[in-house]
Amino acid sequence: MSTPSQASSGRYQKEGWVQWPGEPELSFQFARTLGGAQEGASLISECFAAASRMTPGDTESWYREWQVFAQKSEWRAEEAFARGRFRTASSNWLRASNYYRSSEFYLAHDDPRRVDTFDSVERCSHRYLAGLHPAGEVVAIPYENGAHLDAYFLPCADSSVRSPVVIAFGGLDEYKDELLHEMPKHALTRGMSLLLVDMPGQGGTLRRQKIVNRPDTHVPVGACIDYLLTRSDVDPAKIALYGASVGGVYAARAASFEKRLVATVSDSVMFDMSSLFEGWLATPERLIWRHLKWVFGCATAEEVVEKAKAFRLEGVINRIDMPYLVLQGTEDWLGLKTATDTYDYARANGVDAELRLFDPAETGAAHCQIDNPTLGQEFICDWLAGHLGIDQGAVRARMSALA
């Protein structure tokens, strides 16, 4: 195990800031929290202060130090709110939510602190949503057998029109509360509403209802569309889809069968998850196996590899009949080929596909652009706005008139 003094050996590399060169997985997760500072979900000094007190490789110190700043931020939010300082309260609730999310990350799925901490994530997210203008909504999307999908609906600021909407979800370990700071600033101001949803195998849907992932992802996505069609503030002809990482696979598979969508984005994607995971069997100590077994509902790594065969994109995404965007960083730890294979296969089968690569020269070259999430979301939301038929100039004019 590394020692705390090694925390000072961080450096900027092609994939962005690497806090602990000997601990690539923890360094990636640290950069993920640090990147949230660009969107108001962390503070740079607080992130480095937390890291300075962690023992690299010790996930218990990871939990402990993020908890410190999560609790401080929530306390600040409560105190500011009580004094009528609502902007300060809102900023601190968003940061508290992200710090709680970070602290939860490496807990065992059956650790009682896992659900307790997730409760804290949502508690702070809900307070943040309530303070938005217009306010965001906490919704439960009807699913199968009396279950539901946990979600947040964020209406765009332009309430004068039925708005286009983007259904968005994360991947193996990202859920709706992290998307809450990644997407809204970019999507809402461009005239899109958002439905941030915990798919099967994600967030509250997994933690509270024990619902694991499934390859026929058009079923839960279809449930999301059914819900959106009940809303009078949504344009039913302008619904798009966004998924990140494993969620990029979910999005591609859903778009292959759900024809009520008009555009789809895979922000990092895996053409053949099973083959990729099979290559990791030689390193069973990797922390990612803990998440994979939990999300896939499998007892062993070998079972994960077998179940993942059903998530392959070959023979499926040739059915996509809408514009399809694939993004990948050239330094993505998944590799570049898994994205280029997806794009090449889609194009070869007549899909209107586009590939956007981010390289170290511009940054954003890491997995899902975690080293520069702003750059990724600007491109994604501009692309979505274009394919949803949004005139950003007209949106800006209407919003200025309402101000």
pLDDT by residue (tens digit) across 264-295? 999 999 999 999 999 999 998 888 999 999 99
Lowest mean pLDDT among 144-148, 175-179, 398-402: 398-402
In a domain, 175, yes or no: yes
Say what the pLDDT of residue 371 is: 94
Q: Do residues 109 and 164 share a domain?
A: no
In a domain, 300, yes or no: no
Say what the pLDDT of residue 148 is: 98
255, 322 Cβ separation under 8 angstroms: yes
pLDDT by residue (tens digit) across 366-386? 999 999 999 999 999 999 999
State the average pLDDT over residues 171-177.
96
User: The whole model's pTM is what?
Assistant: 0.95
Say what the pLDDT of residue 403 is: 61
Is the pLDDT confidence value at 194 over 90? yes
In a domain, 349, yes or no: yes
In a domain, 82, yes or no: yes
pLDDT by residue (tens digit) across 212-265? 999 999 999 999 999 999 999 999 999 999 999 999 999 999 999 999 999 999
Say what the pLDDT of residue 396 is: 76
What DSSP assignment string belongs to 30-60? HHHHHHGGGGTSS-HHHHHHHHHTS-TT-HH
Say what the pLDDT of residue 399 is: 66
End position of a domain, from candidates 90, 109, 131: 131
Reply yes or no on whether 274 is catalytic. Answer: no
State the average pLDDT over residues 316-320.
98
In a domain, 293, yes or no: no
97, 121 Cβ separation under 8 angstroms: yes
Say what the pLDDT of residue 157 is: 76
Radius of gyration, CA atoms only, the chain: 20
CATH number, domain at 318?
3.40.50.1820
Is the pLDDT confidence value at 38 over 90? yes
With bands split at pLDDT 50, 70 and 90, how would you rate the model's confidence at 7?
very low
Question: How far is 186 from 184, CA to CA, in rounded Å?
Answer: 5
Say what the pLDDT of residue 3 is: 44
In a domain, 279, yes or no: no
Is the pLDDT confidence value at 17 over 50? yes
With bands split at pLDDT 50, 70 and 90, how would you rate the model's confidence at 158?
confident
Q: Do residues 104 and 145 share a domain?
A: no
Question: How far is 113 from 288, CA to CA, in rounded Å?
Answer: 19
47, 54 Cβ separation under 8 angstroms: no
Q: Do residues 183 and 236 share a domain?
A: yes
Q: Do residues 83 and 38 share a domain?
A: yes
In a domain, 307, yes or no: no
End position of a domain, from candidates 131, 158, 179: 131
What is the total count of domains within the chain?
A: 2
State the average pLDDT over residues 141-145.
96
- Please identify which of the residues 97, 125, 245, 266 carries the catalytic annotation: 245
Q: Do residues 157 and 23 share a domain?
A: no
Say what the pLDDT of residue 402 is: 63
Question: How far is 296 from 291, CA to CA, in rounded Å?
Answer: 8
Q: Do residues 115 and 152 share a domain?
A: no
**By C-alpha distance, which of 98, 108, 89 is closest to 43?**
98
DSSP state of 371: T
With bands split at pLDDT 50, 70 and 90, how would you rate the model's confidence at 331?
very high
Q: Which helix (H) or strand (E) holds 17?
A: strand 16-18
Q: Do residues 82 and 192 share a domain?
A: no
CATH number, domain at 27?
1.20.1440.110
Q: Do residues 236 and 380 share a domain?
A: yes
In a domain, 325, yes or no: yes
Q: Do residues 70 and 195 share a domain?
A: no
Give me the percent of the chain exceeding a pLDDT of 70. Answer: 96
Question: What residues make up the domain containing 14?
Answer: 8-131
End position of a domain, from candidates 97, 131, 165: 131
Q: Calculate the average pLDDT of the chain.
A: 94
Q: Do residues 113 and 213 share a domain?
A: no
346, 286 Cβ separation under 8 angstroms: no
Is the pLDDT confidence value at 118 over 50? yes
pLDDT by residue (tens digit) across 56-81? 989 999 999 999 999 999 999 999 99
Q: Which residues contact 283 (CB under 8 A, 6 or more apart)?
A: none
Q: Which helix (H) or strand (E) holds 197?
A: strand 193-197
Q: Do residues 252 and 395 share a domain?
A: yes
Q: Do residues 387 and 327 share a domain?
A: yes
